[in-house]
Amino acid sequence: MSRRVRFGPCLALLWAQAAAADAARAEPARVVLETASPAGSTARRLKAELGALGLEVEVVAPIPDDLDPLGPRGAARNRGALAVVLLRADDSGAVVWARRPSTGEVTVREIVTEPGSQSSIDDAIAIGATELLRADLMQLPIPREAEPTAPAPSAAAQGSEAHARRLALGAGPGVALAGPGLGAVPHATLDARIEATRWLDVQALASLGLRGSSVEDGTSSADVDASVFGGGLVAGEGMLRGSFWPSAGVGAMVARVEAVGHTTLPAFTRTEVAWVTAPYAVAGLLWRATDSVGLRAQGLVAVSPRPPAVRVLGDTVTRWGMPLVLGVLTIELAVGL
C-alpha cells in the first residue's frame, strides 16, 4: 500500500504559524507605570528608557497597596500588562512586578534610592527598573520598527530628551522697605519663571506698591510711591529632593519712583518722578504641594548706584533705594511646555 503525502495542509499550517509570529512581533509589549506625578521628571525619564526598548508604556494612577497589579484583579485593571512599575510618591524608589513569558512566574523586586540630586534619583530609578526588566523582556516580541539600526543613545542623552521645560506663574502679597525713614509698604507681586536648562530658570518680576510711604521733616512731608520691574537668572531648584526647593539668583531691575512733597507754611505741593535702575540678588524657597502647585517665599535686595533724592522745598529728606528690600509670598502654578 502506498502513502501519499499531502503538502497543501502542511504548507498552510506553516504559513499560519509564520503569520502568527509576525502578528506577535507587530504587537508591542505593554508596561504599566503607576505614578501620582505623570508629568514629573522621574516618570518622564523612565518612559524614555522603556520606550527606547520598543515597549508601550501606559501611565495610570496608583492602586491600593493590597492589590497585586499582576494578580487576577490587578491584571484585569491593567489589561494583561506583562510588567508594572510603581513610583513611590516621595522619590524613595520604585517597586517592579514582572511576569516571565516562558513560565508565567511573577517576580517582585524593589529599587531603593539614596539621598542626592533629583537627576541622580531619576537615573537610579529609570536605569534600575529597566535593567531589572531587561532579562524578562528579552523574551518578549519587539516590533520590527523598534529594532535599533544604530547605536542606542546614551542615558544622559535620553535624560536630556525626556526633560520637558516648564513655565511657572505666581502671584501674591509682598512688603517693601526702600530707605531710611520710609516705612514698610504693601505690594502686589507677579512672578514668572521658565526653565532654560534643568538647573537654571529665567525670571521676570513685577511688584506694584499698593500705597505710598510717608516721611516727615518738621512742617514738611513727602509721600513716596514705587513700582518695581525686573528680570534675571535663578539657579538651584532641582538640586535637592523632597517637597522643599531652594533657589538663588541675580538680575537687574527698573523702578518708577514718585515723590509728592507737602509743606504747611506756606502751603505747597510738588511732585517728582524718577526712573531708577539697579542690580539685585534674590533667594527663595519653594514648597510643592503637588507637582504643579506650590507656595514660594523669596526675598530680593537691590542697591541703586544713583538713588533718587526725596526732596521737600529743595531739601533732601531721604533717598529711595538705599537699599530696597522686598519680601514676597506667592502661590505658584507650573505647567509643561
| Tens of pLDDT, residues 268-293 | 777 788 899 999 999 999 988 887 89
Q: Residues in the chain with pLDDT < 50?
A: 1-5, 7, 10-27, 72-73, 76, 140-162, 239-241
> Residue 215, CB half-sphere, CA atoms under 13 Å: how many?
25
Q: Say what the pLDDT of residue 112 is.
A: 83
Q: Say what the pLDDT of residue 248 is.
A: 94
- Round the average pLDDT of the chain to a whole number and report it: 75
Q: Say what the pLDDT of residue 171 is.
A: 96
pTM higher than 0.75: no
Take residue 166 and report the three cell numbers written for it.
516648564
Rg (C-alpha) for the chain, rounded Å, is 31
The CATH architecture to which 166-336 belongs is: Beta Barrel (2.40)
Q: Say what the pLDDT of residue 108 is.
A: 81
| Tens of pLDDT, residues 139-197 | 544 444 444 444 444 444 444 444 567 889 999 999 999 888 788 999 999 999 998 88
Question: What are the start-end ranges of the H helices in the chain?
Answer: 7-26, 41-52, 72-77, 118-137, 155-162
Q: Which residue type, as a one-letter code, is found at position 79?
A: R
Asked if residues 69 and 86 have their Cβ atoms less than 8 Å apart, the reply is yes
Domain positions in the chain = 7-160, 166-336
Name the nearest CA neighbour of 319 among 259, 229, 230: 259
Asked if residues 165 and 194 have their Cβ atoms less than 8 Å apart, the reply is yes
Beta bridge mates, 262: 221, 269
Topology of the domain covering 7-160? Rossmann fold (3.40.50)
